[in-house]
Chain A
Amino acid sequence: MTSTPTSRRRTLSQRDARTGILLMSPTLFIVLAVVVLPLVWSILIAFQQLRLLEIGTASPFRPLTTANFERVFASGELWVSLGTTFVYTAGSVLLSITLGLIAAIAVRKPFRGRTFVRAAFLLPYVAPVVAVTFVWRTMLSPQFGIVNEAGQSVFGWAQPIPFLSEAQRTLEVLGAEFPIPTALMTAIAFEGWRYFPFAFLFLMARLEALSAETEEAALVDGATPLQSFRYIVLPQLMPVIALLAILRTIWTFNEFDDIFLLTGGAAGTGVASVRVYEFLTVQRNVGAASAQSLILSLVLIVMLALYMALLRKRGERL
């Protein structure tokens, strides 16, 4: 637009800039009012003593204190919950991307019914979380769940396994005993099930965009399918996998719905976001809840910065 600086051209681009701001302003207003302002306010609340009962009347400008952070840090539960969150996040991200990759590779070549298969693979991701967690809870129920029924009659389990309410069990493999955090593993399995379609979708799109030439050349050179995957396909998928890993980490780290609906945060699955909710509704301490969520946000901001840097490195606009 700057290459031809005639006066007519300039006024058009000036007019465009004004129209742009005009068209943008409703969105900007909503995002500022319902996203940015609350975020700033939550920083303020984190430094104030605020109980749930007072929120209707208390002034936003109350004396500042670091008591909430002392409380959150002192309880020791913060570190436990952060540790759980890390395990939960790492496990879920790894599992969902691995499953998504396997699924994407499996349906890569055309076959009859591929459209149906692809649509079916997306189901766990699009279905309402409340419905799928309820079905999982029912299926895993020790009383009449189909999984325990099948386990007992087909696999010969001596007793039903309380998948979602047992914190830990010892697994015996070849005489060695391994402690397994049952409920946490179940929650991770659920995350893998629910979010593999997301990775599947992105990886499939990338696979379809790959040019066939390199692979054909490798085939002519006698590369086996495994070699071709390892040295030709996988390297080309790495940028998407990195992107997926960061996106999924951002979302899983703060995931609330899934854990809350599956276990309620009990049995060793008390991730940090569920703790925020507990501070708010059980302890009725809004300040402490805010402080805990602020700590979560800090981790998140680091991840966000990483994500944006990655996007920029790939030459994409934000």
Chain B
Amino acid sequence: MSTPAAQTRPDAHGTPAPTSRTAPSPPRRRPTRYAVERRIFAVLRWVVIAGFLLVTLLPFYYMVLLSLKPIESLLRDPASVIVTPAEFTLRAYEQVLTPVSAGGQGFGTFLLNSAFVAISAVILSLIVAVPGAYAVARLPFFGHRQVNALFLAAYLFPAIVMAIPLFVLFTRLGLRGSLVGLVLVYIAQTVPVAIYMLRNYLETVPVSVEEAGLVDGLSRLGVLRRISLPLITPSIMATGLFIFMIAWNEFLFALLFLVEKRESWTVSLGLSQLSGSAEIPTTVLMAGSVVLTLPILIVFFSTERLLTGGLTAGAEKG
């Protein structure tokens, strides 16, 4: 499931064999407690890793499993953890993606809505955040600190507190029920974190490179466009994909803004609304879950390294 990029990562810093790290052999005089603990932890470690793998992967395996079999065989044998060739079917995917008019669940439309909302949010949020992050990272403007604190607070402030006033505001503006309104909310939700990530990346660009550009007669905007931006392009992509993940996964605002208009539902909202209904077989909804999850996993695993590096940059300073 991991990508080529992730696999080429050097795991060990000096690539020593796993055992050589503990090479200085313990003093012979007191082997008991040390030896016992070492032996226990050597085994326990693999037990823990296996346990965590089982618990993290099982729900996803179960999701794919149920989406590939007919509902009858699930009800007949709920304990089965494999899908036999005889019961294998893609009917659930067919049903979930077919438009409502043709008797399906219309997830095709939901996918388009989600893609529209998420991609617009990425593009617009980046257009706003890139200059903003540059200003925060490099330019000593008035109110610098306050602006930073404001963004941090905006990032940490949870959606439920913002939900009511935005609900009222967007109803009055006539934006509730429109995907455009949702995009606007997502921009506001993602710009602060995008600025935070981009600022961390921008600070890796040496100031001297920029100063050289300034001396050569470029304006600040010229420096930003011709020197800094090309240097951090991969990071901008990673930030964009992170925004994509937030927007694609978002649920609360989609629920508040779009619930009355089925043709505007996002995949998240669609799945949550339909999973309450008893008429739709669980297997079909599982296919919907796979459809909802797959784009995120593709995005995540293609950029895992960049993303995790950017998110924890603050923690490493420690």
Contacts and interface: CB of A to CB of B under 8 A. Distances in A.
Interface of A: 1, 12-13, 15-21, 23-24, 26-28, 30-31, 33-39, 41-42, 45, 50, 55-56, 99, 102-103, 106-107, 109-111, 114-117, 119-124, 126-132, 134-139, 143-146, 149-150, 153, 193, 201-202, 205-206, 208-209, 216, 219-220, 222, 224-226, 236, 239-240, 243, 247, 250-251, 253-257, 261, 273, 276-277, 280, 286, 289-290, 293, 296-297, 300, 304, 307-308, 316-318
B184 interface: yes
9 contacts: A17-B139, A24-B135, A37-B165, A107-B49, A119-B2, A123-B60, A134-B275, A224-B37, A300-B161
Contacts of B158: 250-251, 253-256, 273, 300
B78 interface: yes
B179 interface: no
A135 B56 contact: no
B297 to A, nearest CB: 7
B161 A123 contact: no
Contact of B56 (A16, A56, A120, A201): A120
Contacts of B188: 30-31, 33-35
Contacts of B27: 222
B12 A42 contact: no
Contacts of B148: 317-318
B74 A144 contact: yes
Given A34-B185, A129-B249, A209 B316 contact: yes
B252 to A, nearest CB: 6
B26 interface: yes
**Residue among B161, B300, B308 with most chain A CB within 10 A:** B161
Given A102-B48, A202-B312, A225-B41, 19 more contacts: A23-B131, A23-B224, A24-B132, A38-B162, A41-B165, A42-B161, A117-B53, A121-B56, A127-B293, A130-B272, A134-B271, A134-B286, A222-B30, A254-B159, A261-B272, A276-B163, A280-B167, A300-B161, A316-B314
B116 interface: no
Interface residues of B, number: 119
B261 interface: no
A132 B60 CA distance: 8
B100 interface: no
Nearest to A56: B171
A71 to B, nearest CB: 15
A113 to B, nearest CB: 9
A247 to B, nearest CB: 8
A19 B134 CA distance: 10
Interface string B1-44: 11000110101100100100110101100100110011001000
**Residue among A12, A35, A37, A318 with most chain B CB within 10 A:** A35
Contact of B154 (A16, A35, A273, A300): A35
Given A24-B141, A135-B63, A318-B152, A55 B171 contact: yes
A204 B316 CA distance: 9
Contacts of A135: 59-60, 62-63, 286, 289
A20 B1 CA distance: 43
Contacts of A126: 245, 296-297, 300
B139 A254 contact: no
Nearest to B78: A144
A89 B227 CA distance: 46
A286 to B, nearest CB: 6
Interface string B247-267: 011011000000000000001
B24 A26 contact: no
**Residue among A18, A33, A135, A225 with most chain B CB within 10 A:** A135
Interface string B45-65: 100110011011101101100
Given A128-B249, A201-B312, A106 B45 contact: yes
> 4 shortest A-B CB distances, which residue pairs?
A20-B141, A20-B139, A34-B188, A38-B165
B300 A122 contact: yes
Contacts of B169: 37-38, 41
**Residue among B11, B165, B249, B315 with most chain A CB within 10 A:** B165
A219 B23 CA distance: 10
B251 A222 contact: no
A116 B1 contact: yes
Contacts of B21: 109
A42 B282 contact: no
B157 A35 contact: yes
Contacts of A224: 33-34, 37-38
B154 A139 contact: no
Nearest to B214: A12
A206 B163 CA distance: 35
B9 A115 contact: yes
B102 interface: no
A119 B282 contact: no
B70 interface: no
B205 interface: no
